[in-house]
Chain A
Amino acid sequence: MWPNLPVLNATSTGVQPIASVAAADAALPSAPLHPDVHLFQTNLGPHVFLVNGSQVYGLGESEYARLSAAARQDTRESVERVMKEFGLEAPAFVDDSPLASPPLRAISLAVAQKCNLGCTYCYAQQGDFGGSAKQMPEKQALDAVEHLFAEARAGDRVNLAFLGGEPLLNRLVIRSATERGAQLSEARGIKVDFSITTNGTLLTSEDADFFEQHGFAVSISIDGVGDTHDQQRPFKGGTGSFARIVERLEPLLSRQRRMQVSARVTVTPRNLELPRTLDELLGLGFHSVGFSPMLSAPSGRDEMNQDDLTIMLEQMTVCGQQFERRIVAGERYPFANMVNAMKEIHRGTHRPYPCGAGAGYMGVSADGELSACHRFVNDESGAMGNLASGVDRARQNNWLASRHVHRQEPCRSCWARYLCGGGCHHEVIHRGRPACAYIRGWLHYCLQAYVRLLERRPDYFAQA
């Protein structure tokens, strides 16, 4: 289907399962050679990614050879010396000190801890997080919104998200919490962004108008087209949900202006044909489409293993190459993973955490319990206090200290550590880190693609 473009990292299609993961990983160009640098080749010459500050430099052949030789030695000093000579030394941008008591700026409300679908891999165990199905009372939601705005001042920006379970099972609370948020925003000069993650089966035309009015970022959990989606995201009775979703999506997709409706695809071993899924979903009219590997399911079902991740990397690379072609042609191609990667690499994003969980972002359960994020509802390992008495600062600061990427293995010596941040906390705590080679492989490809696109379409990056 796609023209034969060379895949510029070593993994090629149809790879056989390899017994020793470590050996396979070490042979890859994306493998971690030295904690401070990552060297990569492109058709525009050799480059280096300096881990400190996420800096990308083109190198001459002799500079590359010197840095490469230094990186192969066992010490950090060898690379430090060469960097100093090249004028590349810099103070550390990220040190060991964790964030401490950061202000709350984003919350997600689990307005419904129940769901009408029975997705195989659901982190919420098909909606109720293993407890009794419940709704968030309106008062609880409004208190949470007040709490969010209370910590902010005029000019600040806050984010209010609705999750679950399936949030649209508690439409009333979404409406009134949003309206309260809009009121407080207006009154206090605090900018608010609204978002919702939904399975899409319960959307109505009125929802479309409401979300459009408030400029929601709407994320639809959808795993492909037709059977590809249905086999892992059925209704609780077992029938497929795809047809219903498409029908219910129509008013949202056609009305999105302030609202943005994106597709979030959970990738399992059963829906690995990513280029097809990407184009089919874009064809439906989604504003963007993003892929996320299923790494940790409470049921253990449909989790990705090493071979699956290897295939996923190949598939993502094919999607990326299509992205490159389209951007070079001056077209829009909202493959979300790539759009984000290009933005972050161009800016030189570098951070010691994978996200704001437990820092500026908290999840609120139907009972008003606070947790590090929406996945940790009813999960002690991410508990952060409750709304009534506020964020438990001791727990929070302990979380932030222990989850800093400098304290993680094998992260602390990996070149990707400030782009990856250590991986999703929930996945890591419950399953560990099976996806490091995938992440490095993907970032390695993205670095190469970045160099190519910067050369061919510098205007693409002008907004970053």
Chain B
Amino acid sequence: MGIDPKNLSAQLQYQARGNPPGAHPESAVGNFFPGLEFNFLSAWRRILVGVELNESSGDVMAVDSDAPPEVEGLVGFQVIAVDVQIVNGEVSGGIPIQVLAHGPGPDDPTKDTIFGQIYLEWGNALASLHHEKGGTGQAVVCLFQHPDTGELRQVPLKVRKLFEPDSVLISRDAVQPGELTQSLCSPWQTDFIGCACYYWAANRPDYVNLWQKKDGSLGDGHNWLNNTRETKLDSASGEYKPFYTLVPGKTLEHADIMRSEDWEKKLRFVIGGKDES
């Protein structure tokens, strides 16, 4: 578009289409630490040749203009597993993209509690697939499901190599200009589980109010997003101690932090690993 900001007030005011504020030099979080303004997850969008996926949900957002009909029809479906085998018309094996999360519940550890469908982080789930099949031209059968109708489809797709040959440069085919900065490094979007460099996993900065057991081993701590800061009885010490929970309703939601006007009241200052008193 023919719009050219010339003087300083125009340059400051003008927001050119296509560059999100997070990528502007003056406001990028990369000023705080280089790299935080990129979301490497965006590179996974085109892991399957012919389709463009949403890297967080597995939705098929678009297909290539020269895609065959069975691929064209995938828009609106979600990939739920890749590299599956079809044996006697039955689907088995393969790598799941979504799993049903279940396990011991926080209230009754003896009961199997269902926490819901979660999307696996692809840096883990698809790494071996990428390593073995990326760029080889070999197709793998991928399983898609429509979120509304439940209809399943199997479509063979090749796996893209996400890097340029003999390089760690991200492939130009995988990522379009501007895509890597359309969202931020995961924790900066409050997605702490998606942290692909393991900073979050290694440091677990989401734990606050840590305490030690009497024998010196690590006790537990609060999830920093926990809005109730409840404690439970620790039988060894006889004291009530913080415990970590992910249970919805006990933790702040995205809207609480990003959209409410009193987020500063909801988030507490943590100094030296402990809540301000």
Contacts and interface: CB of A to CB of B under 8 A. Distances in A.
B7 A58 contact: no
B236 interface: no
Nearest to B17: A87
A15 interface: no
Nearest to A46: B2
Interface stretch (A60-68, A379-387, A421-429, A436-444): A60-68
A87 B14 contact: yes
Given A55-B13, A87-B14, A88-B14, A63 B3 contact: yes
B59 to A, nearest CB: 28
Interface string A41-67: 000000100100111111111111000
A90 interface: yes
B71 to A, nearest CB: 35
A86 B3 contact: yes
23 contacts: A50-B10, A53-B9, A54-B9, A55-B13, A56-B10, A57-B5, A57-B14, A58-B3, A59-B4, A60-B2, A63-B1, A63-B2, A88-B14, A90-B13, A345-B7, A346-B7, A347-B8, A347-B9, A348-B8, A348-B10, A348-B12, A350-B9, A454-B6
B15 interface: yes
A62 B13 CA distance: 22
B8 A464 contact: yes
Contacts of B12: 348
A348 B191 CA distance: 41
A450 B4 CA distance: 14
B6 A451 contact: yes
Q: How large is the interface on B (under 10, 10 to 19, 20 to 34, 35 or more residues)?
A: 10 to 19
Nearest to A464: B8
A350 B3 CA distance: 21
A346 B11 CA distance: 10
Contacts of B15: 87
Contacts of B13: 53, 55, 90
B7 to A, nearest CB: 4
Contacts of A464: 8
Contacts of B8: 346-348, 464
Q: Could you say which of A50, A57, A62 has the most chain B C-beta atoms within 10 Å of its C-beta?
A: A57
Contacts of A90: 13
A60 B1 contact: yes
Contacts of A62: 2
Interface string A441-456: 0000000001100100
Contacts of B6: 47, 56-58, 450-451, 454
Contacts of B5: 55-57
A63 B4 CA distance: 11
Contact of A55 (B1, B7, B16, B17): B7
A350 B9 CA distance: 10
Interface in A374-393: none
Contacts of A345: 7
B4 A58 contact: yes
Nearest to B9: A348
Interface string A268-309: 000000000000000000000000000000000000000000
A348 B7 contact: yes
Interface string B163-188: 00000000000000000000000000
Contact of B3 (A54, A61, A88, A346): A88
Contact of B4 (A50, A54, A57, A87): A57
A89 to B, nearest CB: 10
Contacts of B10: 50, 53, 55-57, 348
A100 B12 CA distance: 27
A59 B8 CA distance: 16
Interface in B1-41: 1-10, 12-17
B3 A59 contact: yes
Contacts of A58: 2-4, 6
A56 B7 contact: yes
Given A54-B9, A454-B6, 17 more contacts: A53-B10, A55-B10, A56-B5, A56-B6, A56-B10, A58-B2, A60-B2, A60-B3, A63-B2, A63-B3, A86-B1, A87-B3, A345-B7, A347-B9, A348-B7, A348-B9, A450-B6
The winner among B2, B3, B7, B13 for most chain A CB atoms within 10 A is B7
A80 to B, nearest CB: 15
Interface string A310-340: 0000000000000000000000000000000
A54 B17 CA distance: 21
B208 to A, nearest CB: 39
A72 to B, nearest CB: 20
A348 B2 CA distance: 21
Interface string A335-377: 0000000000111101000000000000000000000000000
Contact of A347 (B1, B2, B7): B7
Contacts of B17: 87
Nearest to B4: A58
Interface in B206-239: none
B11 to A, nearest CB: 9
B13 to A, nearest CB: 5
A454 B4 CA distance: 13
